[in-house]
Amino acid sequence: MIIYPAIDIKDGRCVRLLQGRFNDVTVYGNDPVQMASKWVSSGAKWLHIVDLDGARGEVSNNRNIILKIVKEFSVPVQAGGGIRTMEDIEHLIGAGVSRVILGTAAVRNPALVREALSKYPEKVAVGIDAKDGKVAIEGWEQVSDYTAVDFAKKMEQLGCRIIIYTDINTDGTLSGPNIKAMKEMIDNVNMDVIASGGVSSIQDLKNLKEIGAAGAITGKAIYTGAIDLAEALKI
């Protein structure tokens, strides 16, 4: 199981949101590049970076910061937030992003997912963010009609091989992941499932590994020191 340290960028700064709420922001640093350096030097094999302003459809300099991180470190980066068009995808992959995450665009525009997957089958993941079992979009501020598992199956039919599954109710709470929801997803699809939301301890990471998660994203836990990233990576 791969551990992905999360770097969420809002207004150029490194932040965490509580349950995806943009009015509940904690700033953990003014320099996302420096934060990337910290996690890479702790032994991270991947970085998970999200442009939060982009996720809400806002224009910002965050994407340039992501590309700076890509240039500066040899560790692969998966990036999401505001990736809505084929041009966005080609620009990011062309600039060295190892994997792009489609979230809102996957719900609104399945044809884009199909096109992106046919061109870059290994480099596109779909982010499924669930609020009470339903898929949320537009920076988690709206909820669609899809259940998370049904939507995942639809993405699998389009050729998707990797999903990033976030339980919004646990995200940023350090309350432990929603193991039941994660297991249901893993058991119902034949894709790699990267689990996100609520990771608070090394035991949580072990629990996710046990149910078959291909990866786990950790944000707040490594920022607050609840998890020592280097130690978790050793295990």
Exposed (0-12), middle (13-18) or buried (19+): which is 56, by Cβ within 10 Å?
middle
Express each pLDDT in 89-105 by its tens digit: 999 999 999 999 998 88
Q: What is the pTM of this model?
A: 0.94
Q: What is the pLDDT of residue 176?
A: 93
d(CA 207, CA 235): 13
Catalytic residues, by residue number, are: 8, 129
d(CA 165, CA 161): 13
Choose the CATH number for 2-234 among 3.30.420.40, 2.60.40.10, 3.30.465.10, 3.20.20.70: 3.20.20.70
Quick check: 18 pLDDT over 80? yes
Domain boundaries, the chain: 2-234
Least confident of 52-66, 106-120, 126-140, 201-215: 126-140
